[in-house]
Amino acid sequence: MNQSAVDLPLSGVTVIDLTRVLAGPMCTQTLGDLGARVIKVEQPGVGDDSRAIGPFVDGTSAYFMSVNRNKESIALNLKADADREIFERLLAKADVLVENYRPGTMEKLGYDWEELHARFPRLILVSISGFGQTGPYREKPAYDMVVQAMSGMMSVTGTADSGPCRVGVSIGDLGAGLYAVIGTQSALLRRARTGQGERVDVSMLDCQIALLENPVARLSATGSVPGPIGSRHPSMAPFDVYAAQDGWFVIAVGSDALFRTLCGLIERPALADAPRFASNTERCKHQAELKALLEERLVQEPRAHWLRIFSDHGVPTGEYHSVAEAVAHPQIAARGMIASVQAPSGAALQVASNPLVASFGADSTVRRNPPALDGDRERILQDFVDAA
C-alpha cells in the first residue's frame, strides 16, 4: 500500500475530524484521499456511530470501512479536562476542523466559532448539519431521508404510480459531504490570501435544493410543478431506458440530427419525418407513443446489436447494469474505481474509489486502512502533544 501523500494536492494539510455516520465522514475521507492528514476524534469505548451499523466484515462495519479510509483514530472525551487539553493541542497545529453535530452542540462543549477563531485564528471550521447554522429549523435533527423528503427530491424520483420514492443512495448525506469538501478547499485558498480561517456552514437541505437544478428552473419557467417521470428526461426525447430482445439499455438523443440518425439505424426513417416527432419539443409531447414505436423494433434484436451500431454512429447509448455488473466492468477497472480496504482482522472489503485521485497520479486511493478505534493514539500524541 502506498503510504505517501506528498504528490497529492492537500499534502501538508491537517484535518481534525469530529464527524460520524456519513455526510461528515464522506467529506473527511475525500480530503484524506486528496492527501490531507485526517485525525478522527471519536467517543471512547463507542466511536463513530457507524461502527455499529451492518453489514459486518469479521466484526467490523462495512459501512464504517466504506467512508473512513486514510484516517487515524484517537478516542477523546471532550467533557474531560485531560482529553480537552489533548484536543486543543491538536487544534493548535491543525488547518481544518470538521464537525457534523446538531447546531448548538459545539457551543455547549465550549468550542463555538468565536472562541475557536480567537484562539486559533488560522483554523477553518467546517460545520455540516441538517438545516445549517441559521433559520427556524437550525436545531432540528435530520437524516438523509428527512432532507430528501423536505427538498422535493423524493417528489421527482420514481414513477407516478410508485408514490414517494427515495433516491437509491443517501444523496442527502453524500451531496452535503461533497459540498463540504468544496467549501473546505475554498476556505483554504482564501486563507492563503488573508491568513485567516473562517467557518464553512453546510446544510444538507440546502445541498439537496442545489442539486434540484432542473426541477427548480422548470417550476419557474413553466409554472408547472415537476413530478416523478421514471427514467426519462423531462425535456429531451428519446432519452430513456428501452427494452431490447434480451435486456434493458439506454438511449440518450439530444438533437434532431441524432434522432434522424437513430431512425435510420433502426430502419424506421419515416419516424423522423412524422410531424409529431420532427422536433424535440414535439417528441417530448408524444414521448410515450414514440417509446412504444421504438421498442417495437428494438425488441427484435439483442442488446449487443443495438449497442454496437448506435455507438459506431455516435448515438449515446449504454448498458443497463446491476451494481455487480458495474463493479466488474472493464471501464471501471481501467479507471481504478474499485478500491480494497482491510478490517483490523485483515479481511478485505471492496469499496468505491475516489474519481479524482487517479487524475493526480496517485498509485492508489488507499494509503491507510480504516482505523481501529483509538488505534493511532500513540502516534498522534507523539506528533501533537509530546512534540509541543
Question: Where do the H-state alpha helices sit in 268-339?
Answer: 270-273, 280-285, 287-298, 303-312, 323-327, 330-334
CA distance 26 to 178: 7
**Of all residues in the chain, what percent are helix, strand and coil, respectively (each to 5)?**
45, 15, 40
Identify the helix (H) or strand (E) that includes residue 378. helix 377-381
The string over 98-122, giving b where at least 16 C-beta atoms fall within 10 Å of a residue's C-beta and e elsewhere, is bbbbebebbeebebebeebbeebee
Is omega for the bond preceding 215 within 30 degrees of 0, making it cis?
Answer: no
Question: Where do the H-state alpha helices sit in 154-252?
Answer: 171-194, 204-211, 213-222
113 residue type, one letter: W
CA torsion, points 8, 12, 16, 20, in degrees to nearest 10?
10
CA–CA distance from 355 to each of 170, 172, 196, 280, 339 (Å)? 18, 19, 30, 33, 11
Nearest 5°: the CA angle 290, 296, 301 is: 125
Strands (E), the chain: 14-17, 37-42, 56-57, 60-61, 71-75, 96-99, 124-129, 199-203, 239-244, 247-252, 317-319, 338-342, 348-352
267 residue type, one letter: E
Which of 233, 305, 321, 329 is flagged as catalytic?
233
CA distance 244 to 261: 18
- Is 233 one of the annotated active-site residues of the chain? yes
344 and 370 Cβ atoms separated by less than 8 Å:
no
266 and 298 Cβ atoms separated by less than 8 Å:
yes
Residues classed as catalytic: 233
